[in-house]
Amino acid sequence: MVRGTLRRRLLVNAVVDPDEAASRLPLGLRPHVTPLGTVVGCCLLDIEQLRPRPLPAPAGIRMRAAAHRISAEWEDERGDTVVGVFVPGRCTDSRLAVALGGRWFPGVHRPARVVIRETDTGLSWRVEGDGEFDIAVAVTTTASHPLGSAGCDPVGGTCLAATIGLSPDRTGALEGARMAPERRDAREAIVEELSSSFISAFTTAQPAPAYLMEDIAVTWTAGDGPSIASVVTSK
């Protein structure tokens, strides 16, 4: 188990045609479909006090990271449907996470430069990776009362409620990580500017609401994948 605090978590979203989303998913996963389509996007993370559970908070590190997400569902070993996300890639400015991800804990990370700046009205967030992972977004944060996942639109309800992310390990097989925040409330963020190589690669992508979570304690544990063993392949 790993613990930390989400200083900020920005979820930038789009909705796409489920058939296009399906073409990006590995065997054993299918797109999760909302009334607006399938949610895809970028999860931008600013984590503080990240450490293994036995260690006190002051011993933790700060880590800025980004992950691409496709809302998906699958059957677990009991035959129950699980709604989570497929994460085709992650990147981070933490050398430790790059070295240990996919070895000590699920989640292979590529190295990247991450810059976050506060503005008078919101945030600007830039991720400079290897081209496939370049993200630049500027958002205005609203003063509205935070909403839980149940109080959001179908996009917010889907992306805030997801608990398990499946991603390729170092061999290409799927591994799972479960995120358990102490609460799931978020504010809607108005996207003023967005450049995302991942979102723009979907030909059917339409803008969807973005959400900002702040100052939330979180634990991460290994999570179960689909009952069908899957290996990620190009489609």
Residues whose CB falls within 8 Å of the CB of residue 149, separated by 6 or more in sequence, listed in order: 156, 157, 160, 161, 184
Are 190 and 212 contacting, i.e. CB atoms less than 8 angstroms apart? no
Return the half-sphere exposure (C-beta side, CA atoms, 13 A cut-off) of residue 194: 25
Q: How many residues belong to the chain? A: 235
Which pLDDT score is estimated for 235? Answer: 45
Residue 124, token pair as written in the block? 């600007």
Other CB atoms within 10 A of residue 211 CB: 26
Residues 6+ apart with CB under 8 A from 5: 47, 48, 49, 57, 215, 216, 217, 218
Residues of the chain with pLDDT under 50: 234-235
What confidence score (pLDDT) does residue 120 get?
Answer: 84
- Confidence (pLDDT) at 227: 59
Return the pLDDT at 1.
Answer: 86
| pLDDT reported for residue 149 | 61
Instruction: State pLDDT tens for residues 72-131.
Output: 999 888 888 999 999 999 999 999 888 888 788 888 999 999 999 998 889 999 999 877
User: Domains, the chain, ranges and CATH?
Assistant: 2-223 (2.40.400.10)
pTM, rounded to two decimals: 0.91
The predicted pLDDT at position 36 comes to 94
Q: What is the pLDDT of residue 231?
A: 53
